Amino acid sequence: QSATPATPVQKSTPTQLVDALNGVFGKHPGARAVHAKGIVLEGTFTPSATASSISKAPHLQHDSVPVTVRFSDFAGIPTIPDNDGMASPRGLAVKFHLAGGAASDIVAHSFNGFPSATADDFRDLLIALSQSGPTAPKPTPLDGYLANHPAAKAFLTAPKPAPVSYGTLPFFGVNTFKFTNAANAVTYGRYQFLPVAGEHYLSDAATAKQAPAYLGTEIGERIKHGPVKFKLVLQVADASDKLDDPSITWPKTRRIVELGTLSVTRLVADNDAAQKQLLFLPNALPAGIEPADPMIDARSAAYPVSFGRRQ
């Protein structure tokens, strides 16, 4: 792996990061600062035979574990229509319920990349966005930001077609984790959830015809006919890959190791109560998995600020 240079100290506080999200989407009482509209389901995760070669984490050994899953639209707007442009990228958050009441989380989205290399950069982008509404004089702060941040420009302009289903989209962990197996061998990698049903998107014309809550309705119908499954795989870093910059997408040629199968089987009955009470933390990790990118801890400090505000 590339030697990581001394990490620059993060300047933004968790509160400033959440305030910056509120600056873009507005404040919506009771809602998450981003990924505000979602749906909670349950199921199981079954590790693959190769998972324990990567990590000694308990859910990556032999036994299946129960999971709670939340699919979401991107925007921090709880009424966002599922067919709106700001609903992408979609989110997938998974809570693995481990023995003894412990839990471990993965929080992923449907784009293989991130607009910003660091939490500070992300806050700068959010502030530029919030200052660049339709009435802002040109060039806007966002124009200036994007001129100097090609990864952010690529992220914002990349096509993000609406999916047929939450079950027909791949989701990407984006940040890099360090995995240690029982023999102390170390692997660096990024999670990917690959839909077993395949990737399926709607045409623009079909997207425009969808009901505002079509994704929630669709997933409820789909699971009546059988589990909605994803392969959880790890994209393994090459020696040349930068571990702490999620704005750089690694090439598709990287080694992929299968970690297991996520099987989503039922809707949670009181969905509003479940969404309110759920808090996913990217750094909720058992022994055998550690953050390898400082954005993971930055995210995990910001999420509880949003959680506190929506209680």
Residue with tokens 């505002």: 212
**Nearest 5°: CA angle at 61, between 181 and 180?**
15
Q: DSSP labels for 122-140?
A: HHHHHHHHHT--TTSPSSP
In terms of CB distance, is 67 or 298 closer to ligand HEM? 298
CA distance 202 to 71: 18
In terms of CB distance, is 179 or 280 closer to ligand HEM? 280
Phi, psi of 126 (to 5 degrees): -60, -40
Q: DSSP labels for 227-260?
A: -EEEEEEEEEPPTT--TT-TTSPPPTTS-EEEEE
Of 35, 59, 109, 149, which one is the catalytic site residue? 35
CB of 171 to ligand HEM, least distance (A): 8
CB of 296 to ligand HEM, least distance (A): 9
CB of 297 to ligand HEM, least distance (A): 10
In terms of CB distance, is 57 or 279 closer to ligand HEM? 279
In terms of CB distance, is 61 or 256 closer to ligand HEM? 256
3-state percent helix, strand, coil for the chain, nearest multiple of 5 = 30, 25, 45
CB of 29 to ligand HEM, least distance (A): 13
In terms of CB distance, is 109 or 229 closer to ligand HEM? 109
Q: Is 17 helix (H, G, I), strand (E, B) or coil?
A: helix
**303 labelled as ligand-binding?**
yes
CA distance 18 to 180: 32
Contact positions toward ligand HEM, by CB under 6 A? 17-18, 21, 32-35, 38, 70, 72, 91, 93, 107-109, 114, 119, 122, 173-175, 246, 278-280, 295, 298-299, 302-303, 306-307, 310
Burial 257-290 (b: 16+ CB within 10 A, else e): bbbbbbbbeebbeeeeebbeebbbbbbbbbebbe
Residues 115, 116, 121, 122, Cα dihedral to 10° = 60
Pull the structure tokens for residue 23: 């600056």
The CB-nearest residue to ligand HEM is 91
CB of 34 to ligand HEM, least distance (A): 5
Would you call 35 a catalytic residue per the annotation? yes
CB of 246 to ligand HEM, least distance (A): 6
In terms of CB distance, is 75 or 119 closer to ligand HEM? 119
CA distance 294 to 282: 11
- Phi-psi group of 273: left, alpha or beta (phi > 0 → left; psi -120 to 50 → alpha; rest → beta): alpha
Which residue numbers belong to the known binding site?
Answer: 303
Binding site as annotated, residues for heme: 303
Which residues are tagged catalytic? 35
